[in-house]
Every structure is written in C-alpha cells, then in structure tokens.
Chains A and B, each alone.
Chain A
C-alpha cells in the first residue's frame, strides 16, 4: 500500500483505508456547499509543517479573500500559520494574464521556492475555461501532472464536477484518488454522503458514508458494514441473568454474554420494562449498562424507572437519549459505540429499533447496519437488547420487515392474550435462543411494582 497522509480525522482516514495517498493527485468533487473547501483546508492544517508547508491556491471560482474570510471561523484554522506553515496564493490573476502556461510557471516557482508537502488548487475545474480546446487542456494537464509527480507533494484538486463528467473529463483519468462529496434527499431530509470513487495503491471502504459539516470541519461516519471478522474472539462461558428470574428459567439460565436479544411486541406490552430489567439486573450484578433510547425523554424514563424501584442515577447505568426527529443513524451508532466503550458497558439497551429503521435510507442498508452493530458488540462481549414494536395487538403474522429477528441470537415475544373480566393479560414466549435450549411454552406475566412477574404455570 502507498504511504498515506491524514485527511483530518481518524474516521475519515478509515474510509480512505488509512488516509489520502501521499504524493498523489486527489480530485475532490461535489456541488457548491458540499464541504469541499472545508475538507481541503482541514487536510492543509493537519499536514502542513514549517519545513514542508501547504500551499492553497484559489483560481477564478471562489476569491481567496472569501476562502480566508470564512475559513478563519473553522476551529482548526490557525492564523499564526498563515504565511509560514500555510501559504495562500491566488492563481486567478496569472490565469487571466497569461493563461494556463502562466499557471504552470507559477506552480513550478512555488514548488521550487516553498517546497510544499501539500498543494490545493480550488477550483481546478474553473481553469478548463482558459483552454482554447480539449487538446490544449490535456496538454496543460499532462505538464501539471508531470510536474507534481516529479516532486513529493500531495495535490488536492477541488472542483464542482457533475457525476456525468467522470467518464469524460481527463482530470478523472490522471487522478490517483477521487473523493465525491454529495447529498441525497428523502422526506424533506438532506443526508450528506462521501464516496471514494477511486483510490490507487490501496483499499478504501466502499459505498457512501455519512458526514456532517461543522466549525470543527468534516466529520465522517464510516458506513457500518462489517464483514464477518476472521480474527477469533473469546466470549465468556458464564451465562448472564435477563433480570427476570422466571424468564431466566425459560432461557435456560439467562443469556450468553455478547448475545443479542430482540424483544418484540405491541405497544404497552412491556418491552421497555423488559429492557430496564436487563439493564438494572446487570447493574445489580456489577455489569455497567447503557440505555440508548429514542423513545422516552430522560425525565419520563426516570419516572418509569422509579416506579419499579430503579433510578437512572445508578452509577452503573448511563443514559444516551436522542430524539428520533431528524436522526442520522450513522452518527448515532458511532455515538453509541463510543459511549459504550467510554463507560465500559457490558449491556446495551436499544429502545427502539423501529425508530432507527424509520431514519434509515433503505431496508437492505438497515439490515447490514444492525448486523454490523451486533457483530461489533458481540466481539467486545457486550450484550445487546433491542425493542421492536409490532403492529398487531393480537396474533402476529411477522416480526420485522428487515430481518432483525434473524440477526438476533434470541427473540422474545410479548403479546396480549385477550381480555378476561375487563382486564388484559400479557404473555411472553421465547421464540428463539441461539446456542442454547429454551422453554417453548407461552407464559402469562403481570407488570407489578417489582416489574415483570411471570404467573405460575397452570
């Protein structure tokens, strides 16, 4: 693999398979407002050094004045570096006066004088208008490519290219890496996504990866799409309590550590309560737990927990609340994984899977997403419980539309059994346990001040 330089964040580098290829030509494409210039500046400030500075060249698209005026509000922008570590210059004037030959002379001079390690041309596409015809532009491109390949400098050529130009514009053929910043729209939501279209001399993560723009720069969330890892991992051999003693019996003495359990049922059946049993039961046994809820607000959840003698103030319990409104699932999942690692969580409750699915672009993608999340947790020995609401109040024809029941190790179904003397009875059924046996019977249960209590067997 070729040597790499950082693109600014470790997750961005993960997408790039280790970073941008050093001493290569990287084409950065996207529509106006997609964050290309911010990305280029991010690369510049991360990599520039006094002895090997970065050179940032504007052309005739965005004036240098504006790049600097807005750039200074980015947190990584370092005013003290301007003029020493980071050199800003304008090619617009020489382009207007002497055309593309003038640009070549200017760049040659900058390499000789400044000896840069990274050189940005923003916008590269704007220079094409200064060639009389395709032949002249290709000649310019050949000379520029030869020049920047003869000196150890990483080039970022930024341009507002359309996807349709990839097959025709010669820049795409000479580029060693192509990064496309784009966005998609669905239900009046805009989701930004980064895709590596080409990367010579190494691998990158395929597909589109969500990103957000903030004053801190470009934050990328690599698409969670883990293939089954080949490296072995060890899981503990002692089963863990579900938090409900009678249910532990049905599950043949609880769960395997690192297992995933889907709790499915209609509204009000006790799914969240089952999840709280799982978390607070773990806390009682010394296993830190993380509640990742998209349902109840922390205040509401605290009230529910207190109703059963628990509290979110528990030292072993961490709450991660996020409204399902305008939720970005890729950002959310990294927050979940980071928080779980930070607090050393051994149990995670996701309440609910349906909220995540609603924010996801498509069913196939969501299935991969859940698989990857469960796989990562399992390898870390973190047990996961996911709630999922089914629509049918009575009877059931299917559990989920995205195969979560297939992905989960255990599936527990909560149902309403029917009305009896104006009261409603609930049942629990263990539909599936992976790598263990279980009680196949349908058991009635009640929700009491002590939580879920199974009725005695008839």
Chain B
C-alpha cells in the first residue's frame, strides 16, 4: 500500500476552518471594527485580501484573511499608510512568514447562547465551548432562545437552523437584527445563503468539528465583543449610579 490521504483529490479535512470562507463582510466589519466600505476599498485598491464570493454574491472571508486584516490594522495603527501596510502584508505572505496580530483576543467568561435541536450535538458543543472558557446557555427551542436572550443577554448565539421544526432562520433574524446579537448559524443542510440573508454572521455545516466551532466563535467575538462587554459594564455602572 503506497497511497495516503493527500494522494487523493478529496477534501483533506472538513474540520480545517482556516481553509474555508465562512465570514460575511458584516461579520468581519464587526469583528475588526472596520467599515465594510473600507474593506471593499482595500480589496479593490490593493488586491491582497480578496474574499471569495458565495453563489448569491456575498463576500466570504476565511480565518486567515481575518487574521491578515487584523495584522493590517495593527500596521495602520502603528502609523503606516494602508498602502504600505498592504505591501508589508504581501511581503510576509510571499515569504511564508506568519501573519499575527498583537491583539488577538481569547475568551473571558463571555456568554454563548447555544440553540440546538440535537441533544448529542448540544452536549459536544457545550463541552467544547466551556473548555475554552465560555459560559454557555443551552436551549432546545426558539421560545427558550428568545426568553434567554432577553434575560441573560448573550454575547453571541450559535443557532441550529433546524431548531423547533426549522424556525432557526426566524430566530437568526430576531437575534441579529432586533437584539444585535451576532449569530453563528449551523445546519446539517447547506443553508449558507439563507443564513447570511437572515443576518447570520457566519455559517458552518454540521457536524461541526470542535476546533472549527471554537475558532469561529472566537473570531466572531473578537475585539468587538470585549468592547461590547466593556460597554455593558459601563452601562451597568451608569444604571447603578442612576
């Protein structure tokens, strides 16, 4: 026997999130605090970070591209012009050097709403998120998800689109548009376009590998989540003073 997996024209690993374009331009904008218009301008002007397009025309960024954009922001914050920042980034990519940002965030008791229909999938997802330091509020129906959002104010929601007989898209719209909670949509069916159109920041196909799930959550929470958390603390302080 002389063949290995890499000898085949087959996907090497469904669980390698770095290879997959999953983040919408809106999600990247929130993660990094850059306006979508700026992202589009950078793409057209410098052609270094070029997202793929979904069938419906949505820009979709990979994790590596998000990391590259973070690196760019660091360069700009350090005083470089966007053009010079892109040149530095391009050189690093060409040289095969790692592209890392100084400010990559981690988890700090952020609350994840996990809206799942499958108890086995919920069990694994909750375990993997908790082992990364997140708090998890697990719900098994749309009604419970809405109630928990109102009472606990999650920083992010992971929603199985087939929850409550397929009402996951409705929940996506509710949470992302009315409650401003970023949504990571997941489903056994390919529902990327519907999920993005319903306001989800990213979509992953089930079954979701642990690293893929945790990485997506980390990316979506990113800096903006910390800012949101700090904002909330400030709000609470203000409320307490009042």
Q: Which residues of A contact B (CB under 8 A)?
A: 3-6, 8-10, 13, 18-19, 22-23, 42, 46-47, 49, 51-52, 75-76, 108, 111-112, 115, 117, 146-147, 149-152, 216-217, 219
Say yes or no: B124 contacts A112, CB within 8 Å: yes
The residue from B1, B3, B8, B124 contacting A151, defined by CB atoms under 8 A apart: B124
Contact with A along B116-140 (1 / 0, CB 8 A): 0011110110011000000000000
Shortest distance from the beta carbon of A86 to any chain B beta carbon, whole Å: 14
The residue from B10, B119, B206, B210 contacting A19, defined by CB atoms under 8 A apart: B10
Say yes or no: A3 contacts B127, CB within 8 Å: no
Q: Which residues of B contact A (CB under 8 A)?
A: 1, 3-5, 7-8, 10-11, 13-15, 118-121, 123-124, 127-128, 206-211
Can you give 18 contacting A-B residue pairs, CB < 8 Å? Answer: A3-B10, A3-B11, A6-B4, A6-B5, A6-B10, A10-B8, A19-B10, A46-B1, A46-B5, A49-B13, A75-B1, A112-B127, A115-B209, A117-B13, A146-B120, A150-B121, A150-B124, A152-B14
Say yes or no: B120 contacts A147, CB within 8 Å: yes
- Assembled-state Cα–Cα distance A24/B135 (Å): 31
Shortest distance from the beta carbon of B145 to any chain A beta carbon, whole Å: 19
Say yes or no: A152 contacts B209, CB within 8 Å: yes
The residue from B3, B119, B210 contacting A10, defined by CB atoms under 8 A apart: B3
Residues of B within 8 A of A18 (CB): 10
- Assembled-state Cα–Cα distance A13/B3 (Å): 11
Name which residue of chain B comes closest to A19, CB basis. B10
Given A19-B10, A111-B124, A146 and B118 contact (CB-CB distance below 8 Å): yes
Given A6-B3, A10-B3, A115-B210, A150 and B14 contact (CB-CB distance below 8 Å): no
Say yes or no: A115 contacts B207, CB within 8 Å: no
Main secondary structure on chain A at its contact with chain B? loop
Residues of B within 8 A of A23 (CB): 14, 207
Given A3-B10, A18-B10, A216-B1, A150 and B211 contact (CB-CB distance below 8 Å): no
Shortest distance from the beta carbon of B160 to any chain A beta carbon, whole Å: 11
Say yes or no: B118 contacts A13, CB within 8 Å: no
- Assembled-state Cα–Cα distance A308/B53 (Å): 69
Given A150-B207, A152-B15, A8 and B121 contact (CB-CB distance below 8 Å): no
Name which residue of chain B comes closest to A13, CB basis. B8
Say yes or no: B13 contacts A42, CB within 8 Å: no
Say yes or no: B211 contacts A115, CB within 8 Å: yes
Given A23-B14, A151-B124, A5 and B5 contact (CB-CB distance below 8 Å): yes
Name which residue of chain B comes closest to A8, CB basis. B1
Shortest distance from the beta carbon of A397 to any chain B beta carbon, whole Å: 49
Residues of B within 8 A of A217 (CB): 1
- Assembled-state Cα–Cα distance A108/B120 (Å): 10
- Assembled-state Cα–Cα distance A11/B119 (Å): 39
Name which residue of chain A comes closest to B9, CB basis. A18
Shortest distance from the beta carbon of A141 to any chain B beta carbon, whole Å: 13
Residues of B within 8 A of A8 (CB): 1, 3
- Assembled-state Cα–Cα distance A3/B209 (Å): 15
- Assembled-state Cα–Cα distance A313/B108 (Å): 76
Name which residue of chain B comes closest to A145, CB basis. B120
With A23-B14, A49-B13 known, 16 other A-B pairs at CB within 8 A are: A4-B10, A6-B10, A19-B10, A46-B3, A46-B5, A47-B5, A52-B13, A52-B15, A52-B209, A76-B1, A112-B127, A117-B13, A149-B120, A150-B121, A151-B121, A151-B207
The residue from B4, B5, B118 contacting A150, defined by CB atoms under 8 A apart: B118
- Assembled-state Cα–Cα distance A241/B226 (Å): 82
Residues of A within 8 A of B206 (CB): 150
Residues of A within 8 A of B210 (CB): 115, 151
